Chains A and B, each alone.
Chain A
């Protein structure tokens, strides 16, 4: 980020939330730039929803500070804790929270009426919000007459109607079926861009996070594991947890062999005696270095790939011995539709390989396993 970057719109500083003696969150710190979408990603119980609710003012933190648009919403040091209704935010709830005793129109108009807007303005903004989510013709319906997807759209219209500058999303798509979820994902992203609204999004779904976010915060057990843009989170996981949670990975432990390092690559001798070349990504190797290789980045072929780098795996110069190529035996092959998952014996352990479509190697057959060193990433020392 250049130094003249705009001031962060949402700032969370050393936020901690305790339930009695149990620390549910923290301390965590992160910030969201104006107009950007940040996603809190993690398994259930990792504290992501609690963090979001604390920002909304629905949960009382134990310490830290929350600032929105430069104004302090919560600060333990200064004894400030604005109630949710004075924070001027908007939120889409996991359960949609569409009020069943009101019509769609009344639901969407709520935030505007709270702000004592004129009848004409309410009318105009509700129409605009409903049109935005293509629910214009449902204005007079009662919430109980809507399907799940329609309720989701109304919840979205209601959250946007009073033009809030910050939108919070608490797993808004988790109650939709898979197909609808895919569609809504794209729609939400477009909407967010069109409105230029700063958003904070909570999900446990990796694809959702990767597809929708400008930046991702991966959380685990109330702490932040890694912050970064989607491609960096995916390509350069910082810890074993992120590597595994953000798409499945093989973790290879061993010791560094500086003597075999070349071309800017590091070399690691695995516990089974194999030499694996990989990238350090500027990270210092600790006492117990670990390389992470995604299951989809491993390749399995029947014939030995030659040193010319024809298969793209080895990038050594011609004539030189290709790196990261090993003869293996396929132990198990599981057909998963889009993918086939293969378990191969490799130096006294198993590696998992996922290849698209059907594998051309059967169970019990020998094959060659290869991996592009650029995809073998050194994890940060614990």
Chain B
């Protein structure tokens, strides 16, 4: 486990008493349940697993991680060059 894919919330609505959303995965859309991320807004990116949003993806953390990793990767390039 577990197949969780990031997608963007493009619509929010109620269905069967549950907070649901239309999620955009790079051009492909599917419905998902947003009950577990009550604070979600349109435009948020979320992790979807079996039709449920499990969390909102933090853009800040994502940037931070990538920056760190890129630095590590660049240190390598510098060391190689020396």
Q: Do A and B come from one complex?
A: no
* B interface residues (Cβ-Cβ under 8 A, vs A): none
* A interface residues (Cβ-Cβ under 8 A, vs B): none
